A and B are shown apart, each in its own frame.
Chain A
Amino acid sequence: MAISRRAIVLAAGAVLLALVPPVAGLLNQPFYVDLFRRMMIFAIAALSLDLILGYGGMVSFGHAAYLGIGAYAVGILAFYGVDNGFLQWSVAVAASAVAALVIGAISIRTSGVYFIMITLAFTQMLYYLGISLETYGGDNGMPLRTRSQFAGLVDLRNPSAFYYLVLALLVLFLVLGRRLVDARFGRVIRAARSNEPRARAIGFSPFRYKLAAFVLAGGACGLAGALLANQTEYLTPDFMHWTRSGEIMFMVILGGMGTLFGPVLGAVVLLGLEDVLSALTEHWQIILGPFLVVVVLFAKRGLFGLVEGEVPRDG
Chain B
Amino acid sequence: MLLVLEQALNGLQYGVMLFLMAAGLTLVFGIMNLVNLAHGSLYMVGAYLATALARWTGSFVLGGLLALPATLLVGVVVEVVALRTLYERDHLDQVLATFGLILFFNELVAIVWGRAAIYTSLPPSLSGSFVLLPGLRYPTYRALVIGVGVAAAVFLYVLVTSTRLGMLIRAGASNRTMVAALGVNIRWLYTLVFGLGAALAGLAGLMAGPIYAVQPGMGEQILIQVFVVIIIGGIGSIRGAVAGALVVGMVDTLGRAFLRPTLSTIVSPAAADKAGPALASMLIYLMMAAVLFFRPQGLFPTRGR
Contact = CB atoms under 8 A, between A and B. Distances in A.
A33 interface: no
Contacts of A61: 95
B224 A283 contact: no
A129 B278 contact: yes
A132 interface: yes
Nearest to B292: A106
B35 A113 contact: yes
B274 to A, nearest CB: 7
Given A109-B292, A132-B281, A296 B103 contact: no
B281 A120 contact: no
Interface in B271-301: 274, 277-278, 281-282, 285-286, 288-289, 292-293, 296-297
Contact of A112 (B85, B91, B228): B91
A131 B280 CA distance: 12
Given A110-B292, A125-B285, A116 B100 contact: no
B130 interface: no
A289 B100 contact: yes
Contacts of B99: 243, 246, 249-250, 292
Nearest to B99: A246
Interface stretch (B66-74, B107-115, B136-144, B204-212): B107-115
Interface of A is mostly: helix
Interface of A: 53, 59, 61, 106, 109-110, 112-114, 116-118, 120-122, 124-125, 128-129, 131-135, 242-243, 246, 249-250, 253, 283-286, 288-293, 296-297, 300
Contacts of A110: 292, 296-297
Nearest to A112: B91
Interface of B: 29, 35, 82, 85-86, 91-93, 95-97, 99-108, 110-111, 220, 224, 227-228, 230-231, 235, 274, 277-278, 281-282, 285-286, 288-289, 292-293, 296-297
A253 B100 CA distance: 13
Given A120-B224, A286-B111, 14 more contacts: A109-B292, A113-B35, A116-B95, A117-B228, A125-B281, A128-B281, A242-B220, A246-B96, A249-B95, A285-B104, A289-B105, A292-B99, A293-B97, A300-B93
Q: Which residue, B103, B105, B274, B282, has most C-beta atoms of chain A within 10 A?
A: B103
A246 B278 CA distance: 24
Given A61-B95, A242-B220, A283 B292 contact: no
The 8 closest A-B pairs by CB, nearest first: A292-B100, A289-B104, A289-B103, A132-B278, A125-B285, A286-B107, A128-B281, A293-B100
Q: Which residue, A53, A132, A288, A293, has most C-beta atoms of chain B within 10 A?
A: A293
A285 B103 contact: yes
Nearest to B105: A289
Given A250-B96, A292-B100, A106 B289 contact: yes
Contacts of A283: 107, 110-111
A297 B86 CA distance: 8
Contacts of A291: 100
A124 B285 contact: yes
A118 B277 contact: no
B106 A116 contact: no
25 contacts: A106-B289, A106-B293, A113-B29, A116-B35, A116-B95, A118-B292, A120-B224, A121-B227, A121-B288, A124-B224, A125-B281, A132-B277, A242-B220, A253-B96, A283-B111, A285-B106, A286-B103, A286-B108, A289-B100, A289-B105, A289-B107, A292-B97, A293-B82, A296-B97, A297-B93
A113 B32 CA distance: 13
Contact of A59 (B85, B95, B106, B282): B95
A263 to B, nearest CB: 14
A197 to B, nearest CB: 17
Contacts of A286: 103-104, 107-108, 111
A114 B111 contact: no
A240 B100 CA distance: 18
A267 to B, nearest CB: 16
B96 A120 contact: no
B235 A121 contact: no
A116 B110 contact: no
Contact of A116 (B85, B91, B278): B91
A121 B228 contact: yes
Contacts of A122: 285, 289
Nearest to B216: A285
Contacts of B100: 288-293, 296
A290 B99 CA distance: 10
Contacts of B235: 113-114
A315 B85 CA distance: 26
